[in-house]
C-alpha cells in the first residue's frame, strides 16, 4: 500500500473548530482503517493523528526542533577564580572581576537575543592557581564542541597614571587571532573616538596572558579596553553610557568576527 499522502495533506488543510472533537474521532477511525494493514506506516499515521488532535483541541502544532548551528562564543570573565579579582580602578570603586561580570552578563544577553551566535558565559573559574584555572577553563571550552571564539574580559592597569587606551591580546602565531584583534581594536575606536588605540598585541610564551591564549584550542582574545588606573579612561567607562557602549562594541566585534 502506498503512503496515502493525499489523506495526510488533506488532513493538514482541514479547518477543524476548537470544539470539534466529534469530527476528529470520525477521522481517527477512518485513518486507522486506512492504515490498518500497513504496520510499517504507523509512524506516518501517528503524525497525522497527532496533527488532527491538536487542531481539534485548538492547539498549535508541536514546535519542530530545529538544529542549532549558531557559532558558539565563550565570554569568560578574567580573574573570576576564588582569591583573584584582578586590578582595582584608581578610585577603588571596583575591580576587574566585578566590573567585567556585569559587562559579560549584558553582552551574553544581547548575543542570545540576537540569535546570531550561541554565547556561553564562564565565570567563577575552578582551580587554586592561575594555571589550574586556565586548565579548568580549557576543559570547559573543549567540552562545548566547536567553539568559534573565546574572549576573556579584563581591563588594564599600570603604575604610571598616564598609561591609557585599549589593547587586544592574541597568540602571536594565530592568524585569526590577529585578524579578530584588529577588528576589536578598530571597533573600539569607532565607539570611543577619544580613546587611545594601542592596537592588537601579539603575545609569545612567557608574556602576559600567554597561557590562556596558547592553551585553548579555539581563537582566543584577551580584551583590555581601557586602563582602570587612568583617570580619563575610567571617567568614560565607569559611566552607564560607557558600559552600555562597551557591551554594544563587543557585541558588534564578536558577531562581525565570527559570522
Ligand atoms: Zn586582568
At 4 the pLDDT is 46
Instruction: Verify that 110 and 219 share a domain, yes or no.
Output: yes
Q: How many domains does the chain have?
A: 2
Residue range 87-109, pLDDT digits in tens:
999 999 999 999 999 999 999 99
Length of the chain: 259
Instruction: Verify that 151 and 219 share a domain, yes or no.
Output: yes
Q: 3-class DSSP state for residue 41?
A: helix
Instruction: Verify that 208 and 118 share a domain, yes or no.
Output: yes
Torsion angle in degrees (nearest 10) through CA of 174, 95, 124, 176: -10
Ligand 1 centre to CA of 96 (Å) is 6
Let me know if residue 29 belongs to a domain: yes
Instruction: Verify that 44 and 115 share a domain, yes or no.
Output: no
At 41 the pLDDT is 79
At 2 the pLDDT is 47
CA–CA distance, 163 with 54 (Å, rounded to integer) = 65
139: domain CATH number is: 3.40.630.40
At 63 the pLDDT is 57
- Residue 15 burial (10 A CB sphere; 0-12, 13-18, 19+): exposed
Ligand 1 centre to CA of 224 (Å) is 8
At 12 the pLDDT is 46
Instruction: Verify that 49 and 155 share a domain, yes or no.
Output: no
Let me know if residue 61 belongs to a domain: no
Let me know if residue 64 belongs to a domain: no
Range of the domain at 111: 72-258
Let me know if residue 66 belongs to a domain: no
Let me know if residue 63 belongs to a domain: no
Instruction: Verify that 34 and 121 share a domain, yes or no.
Output: no
Let me know if residue 144 belongs to a domain: yes
Per-chain residues with Cβ under 5 A from ion ligand 1: 78, 86, 96, 154
Let me know if residue 62 belongs to a domain: no
Instruction: Verify that 106 and 186 share a domain, yes or no.
Output: yes
- Cell readout for 120 is 556561553
- Cell readout for 154 is 579584563
Ligand 1 centre to CA of 164 (Å) is 15
Extended strands (E) in 118-196: 118-122, 147-153, 166-171
**Which stretches in the chain have pLDDT values below 70?**
1-20, 60-65
CA–CA distance, 99 with 200 (Å, rounded to integer) = 22
At 152 the pLDDT is 98
Instruction: Verify that 168 and 126 share a domain, yes or no.
Output: yes
Residue 189: CB atoms within 10 Å = 17
Ligand 1 centre to CA of 247 (Å) is 17
Let me know if residue 44 belongs to a domain: yes
Instruction: Verify that 94 and 157 share a domain, yes or no.
Output: yes
pTM, two decimals, is: 0.75
Instruction: Verify that 20 and 111 share a domain, yes or no.
Output: no
Instruction: Verify that 51 and 76 share a domain, yes or no.
Output: no
Q: How many helices (H) and strands (E) does the chain have?
A: 9, 6
CA–CA distance, 7 with 5 (Å, rounded to integer) = 5
Element (H, E) at 220: strand 220-224
Rg (CA), the chain: 27
At 36 the pLDDT is 82
Instruction: Verify that 14 and 124 share a domain, yes or no.
Output: no
Amino acid at each position: 500500500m502506498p503512503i496515502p499522502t493525499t489523506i495526510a495533506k488533506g488532513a493538514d488543510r482541514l479547518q477543524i473548530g476548537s470544539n470539534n472533537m466529534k469530527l476528529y474521532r470520525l477521522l481517527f477511525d477512518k485513518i486507522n482503517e486506512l492504515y490498518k494493514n500497513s504496520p510499517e506506516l504507523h509512524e506516518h499515521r501517528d503524525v497525522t493523528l497527532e496533527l488532527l488532535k491538536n487542531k481539534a483541541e485548538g492547539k498549535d502544532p508541536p514546535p519542530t526542533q530545529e538544529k542549532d548551528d549558531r557559532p558558539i562564543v565563550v565570554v569568560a570573565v578574567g580573574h573570576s577564580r576564588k582569591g583573584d579579582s584582578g586590578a582595582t580602578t584608581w578610585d577603588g570603586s571596583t575591580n576587574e572581576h566585578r566590573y567585567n561580570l556585569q559587562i559579560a552578563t549584558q553582552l551574553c544577553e544581547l548575543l542570545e537575543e540576537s540569535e546570531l551566535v550561541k554565547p556561553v558565559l564562564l565565570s567563577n573559574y575552578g582551580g587554586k592557581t592561575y594555571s589550574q584555572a586556565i586548565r579548568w577553563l580549557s576543559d570547559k571550552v573543549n567540552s562545548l564542541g566547536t567553539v568559534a571564539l573565546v574572549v576573556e574580559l579584563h581591563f588594564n592597569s599600570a603604575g604610571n597614571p598616564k598609561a591609557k587606551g585599549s589593547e587586544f591580546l592574541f597568540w602571536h602565531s594565530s592568524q585569526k587571532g590577529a585578524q579578530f584583534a584588529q577588528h576589536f581594536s578598530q571597533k573600539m575606536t569607532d565607539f570611543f573616538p577619544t580613546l587611545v588605540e594601542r592596537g592588537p598585541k601579539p603575545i609569545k610564551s612567557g608574556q602576559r596572558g600567554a597561557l590562556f591564549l596558547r592553551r585553548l584550542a579555539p581563537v582566543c582574545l584577551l580584551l583590555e579596553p581601557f586602563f582602570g588606573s587612568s583617570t580619563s579612561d575610567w571617567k568614560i567607562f565607569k559611566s552607564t553610557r560607557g558600559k552600555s557602549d562597551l557591551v554594544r562594541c563587543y557585541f558588534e566585534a564578536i558577531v562581525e568576527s565570527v559570522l
